[in-house]
Amino acid sequence: MKHQEIRDKFLKFFESKGHAIVPSSSLLSNDPSVLFTTAGMQQFKPYYIDPSSAPAKSIVSIQKCMRTSDVDEVGDAVHLTFFEMLGNFSFGEYGKREAIHYAHEFVTKIMGLKIDYVTVFAGHSEDDTKYADSESQSVWNDEIDHTIQVKKVYGTDNFWGPTGNEGPCGPTTEIYVNGIEIWNIVFNQYYRHKDGQLSELKFQGIDTGMGLERLAMVAQKKDNIFETDLFEPLIQILPGEGIPVRVHRIIADHCRAVAFLISDGVIPSNKEQGYVLRRLMRRVIVQCHLHGIELEAIQEIFEKMIELYREMYPGLNLELVKSVFEQENQKFQKTLKTGLKELEKTETVDAPAAFKLFESYGLPFEIVKEVAGDKAAGLNREDFEEERKRHQEISRAGAEKKFGGHGIAEGDDFRKTRLHTATHVLAAALEKVLGQKIQQNGSDITVERLRFDFQFSRKITSEELKQTEEIANEIVRKNLSVSAKEMPLKEALDSGAGAFFKMKYPERVKVYTIGDESDWFSKELCGGPHVSHTAEIGRITITKEESVSGGNRRIRATVD
Ligand code: ATP
Ligand code: MG
Question: Which residue's CA is the closest to the ligand 1 atom numbered 2?
Answer: 181
Query: Is any atom of ligand 1 closer than 6 Å to the C-beta of 448?
Result: no
Q: What is the pLDDT of residue 496?
A: 87
Share of the chain above pLDDT 90, in %: 74
Q: 414-559: which CATH number, 1.10.10.10, 3.30.980.10, 1.20.120.1200, 3.40.50.300?
A: 3.30.980.10
- Identify whether the C-beta of residue 64 lies closer than 8 Å to the C-beta of residue 7: no
Q: What is the pLDDT of residue 401?
A: 43
How many residues belong to the chain?
Answer: 560
- Under 8 Å CB-to-CB from 126, ≥6 apart: which residues? 154
Query: How far away, in angstroms, is 325 Cα from ligand 1 center?
Result: 28
Fold of 3-219: BirA Bifunctional Protein; domain 2 (3.30.930)
Query: How far away, in angstroms, is 427 Cα from ligand 2 center?
Result: 45
Question: Which residue's CA is the closest to the ligand 1 atom numbered 3?
Answer: 181
Q: What is the pLDDT of residue 20?
A: 98
Query: For residue 348, is pLDDT > 80?
Result: yes
As a whole number of angstroms, the distance between CA 216 and CA 117 comes to 18
Query: Is any atom of ligand 1 closer than 6 Å to the C-beta of 85?
Result: yes
Q: Tell me the pLDDT tens digit for each residue of 289-302.
A: 999 999 999 999 99
Query: How far away, in angstroms, is 67 Cα from ligand 1 center?
Result: 9
Query: How far away, in angstroms, is 155 Cα from ligand 2 center?
Result: 16
Mean of pLDDT over the chain: 92
Q: Which residue has the higher pLDDT, 227 or 337?
A: 227
Q: Which residue has the higher pLDDT, 502 or 272?
A: 272
Q: What is the pLDDT of residue 186?
A: 97
Q: What is the pLDDT of residue 395?
A: 65
533 DSSP 8-state letter: B
Q: Tell me the pLDDT tens digit for each residue of 183-234.
A: 999 999 999 998 888 999 988 999 999 999 999 999 999 999 999 999 999 9
SS3 516: strand
Q: Which ligand is nearest to the CA of 256?
A: 1
Q: Which ligand is nearest to the CA of 73?
A: 1
Query: Is any atom of ligand 1 closer than 6 Å to the C-beta of 67?
Result: yes
Q: What is the pLDDT of residue 500?
A: 79
Q: Do domains 3-219 and 414-559 have the same CATH topology?
A: no
**Bond before 529 cis per omega within 30 degrees:** yes
Q: Tell me the pLDDT tens digit for each residue of 497-538.
A: 888 766 788 888 899 999 998 889 999 998 888 998 898 898
Q: What is the pLDDT of residue 410?
A: 62
- Identify whether the C-beta of residue 218 lies closer than 8 Å to the C-beta of residue 177: yes
Query: For residue 409, is pLDDT > 50?
Result: no
Query: How far away, in angstroms, is 210 Cα from ligand 1 center?
Result: 7
Query: For residue 404, is pLDDT > 70?
Result: no
Q: In a mutational test of the pocket of ligand 1, which residue from 172, 173, 181 has the highest number of ligand atoms less than 8 Å from its CB?
A: 181
Query: Is any atom of ligand 1 closer than 6 Å to the C-beta of 209?
Result: yes
Query: How far away, in angstroms, is 558 Cα from ligand 1 center?
Result: 38
Crossing angle of helices 365-372 and 381-397, rounded to 10°: 140
- The mean per-residue pLDDT over the stretch 533-558 comes to 90
Query: For residue 74, is pLDDT > 90?
Result: yes
- The mean per-residue pLDDT over the stretch 479-497 comes to 90
Q: Where are the domains of the chain?
A: 3-219, 231-345, 350-411, 414-559
Q: H-type helices in 31-178, by residue range?
A: 45-49, 96-104, 134-138
Query: How far away, in angstroms, is 47 Cα from ligand 1 center?
Result: 23
Q: Tell me the pLDDT tens digit for each residue of 352-383.
A: 999 999 988 989 898 899 899 999 999 999 99
Question: Which residue's CA is the closest to the ligand 1 atom numbered 14?
Answer: 209
Share of the chain above pLDDT 70, in %: 96
- Identify whether the C-beta of residue 368 lies closer than 8 Å to the C-beta of residue 358: yes
Q: If you compute the radius of gyration of the chain from its CA atoms, what whole number of angstroms results?
A: 27
Q: What is the pLDDT of residue 403?
A: 38
Question: Beta strand pairing status for 552-559 and 450-455?
Answer: antiparallel
Query: For residue 154, is pLDDT > 50?
Result: yes
Best-predicted range by mean pLDDT (155-169, 381-395, 507-521): 507-521
